[in-house]
Amino acid sequence: MSALAFLADGNSIPPLSQVSVWLNDPENWTGPNGLLVHLRQHVIYTVVAVVIAIIIALPIGLLVGHTGRGAFLVGGLANGLRAVPSLGLVVLLVVWLSPKIHLLQTVPGVVDHRGALPYLIPVEIVLVLLAIPPILTNTYAGVQNVDPAARDAAKGMGMTGFQLVRKVELPCALPLIMSGVRSSVLQVIATATIAAFAPFLGGLGQYIINGAQVINDPHNGYPAMVGAGLVVAALALVAELSLILVQRYIVSPGISGRFKTSKSTVRAPDGSVVGTELAGV
C-alpha cells in the first residue's frame, strides 16, 4: 500500500520515536544492505556527477569570462538546465538509453558490465546536467568581476592570454567558483535520491522510495524514510563544511579577505617616532 493510500484509509503513521530506534539499530547501518552501503553509493553518484560537471563547466566558464563571447548563450544554457525536471528526465533516459547500452554490451570485444551500468549512466547524465549551471555561471561571473587593474598589470608584465587566465583570473575567481561547486554538490546530494527509481541502483533514496510503499511498517516504512532523509541532510551538511575548509585552504588570503594587517611604530635612531608601518599577518 502506498503512503497516500495508507493515509487516505484513515490509518496513522508510526510515532517519530521509531525513527530514533531505527537509526540506533546497528543492523540498519552495518548489514549487507545497510545504511553504510547505500551511503557509499550515494557519495559515489554525487562525486562522479560533480567531477564531470567541473570538467565540462569550468573551462567553458573561464573561456567565456575571459573573452566575453557567448555570455548570452551561457546564461540561456544555465537557465534551461535549471528548468530540467530531474525525475522525468531520469525515467525518459532510462527507457530510451538503457536498452541501447544493453545492445552495446552484446557487441564482441565490448566489456560486459551487465547489471547497474545501463541504468547508472542515464542517472549520472541527469545529475551532471543539474550540477553544471551553478559552476558555469559562477565561473563566468567570477572571471568577469576580476579587477581590471589586475588584468592590466598582468598584461603589462607580458603575460599571454593563457597565463592571464591561470595566474590572475582563475585565482581571483576561485571564491565564486567554489561557491558554485558547493551549490552543485548540495543539489546533487539531494537529487541523487531519485537514482533509486532506476533498476539495480541504490543510494539513500532506496529507503525513501521503498518506505513509502510500506509506510506502516515499524521497521522498513516511515522510520526508514525519515531516517534516510536525516542521513541525506547530514551528508549535505558534512559536504558543505568540508568544502568550506577546502575553499579556505585553496583561496588566497588576500582574495578571501583573511589577510590582516598590523601596525608597527617606526622610530628614528634617536628613539623619536617618525611614523607607522603596515605589515601583513
CATH number for the domain that contains residue 145: 1.10.3720.10
Q: How many domains does the chain have?
A: 1
Would you say residue 263 lies in a domain?
no
Q: Chain-wide mean pLDDT for the chain?
A: 81
Would you say residue 69 lies in a domain?
yes
Would you say residue 245 lies in a domain?
yes
What pLDDT was estimated at residue 163? 87
User: With pLDDT > 90 as the criterion, what percentage of the chain qualifies?
Assistant: 30
What pLDDT was estimated at residue 45? 94
Would you say residue 206 lies in a domain?
yes
What pLDDT was estimated at residue 281? 47
CB 203 within 8 A of CB 149: no
Residues of the chain with pLDDT under 70: 1-14, 102-115, 218, 255-281
Q: What is the pLDDT of residues 39-48, one digit of tens each?
A: 999 999 999 9
What pLDDT was estimated at residue 110? 40
What pLDDT was estimated at residue 274? 46
Domain span holding position 65: 3-250
How far apart are alpha carbons 163 and 47 in whole angstroms? 29
What pLDDT was estimated at residue 111? 42
Would you say residue 176 lies in a domain?
yes
Would you say residue 281 lies in a domain?
no
Would you say residue 261 lies in a domain?
no
Would you say residue 219 lies in a domain?
yes
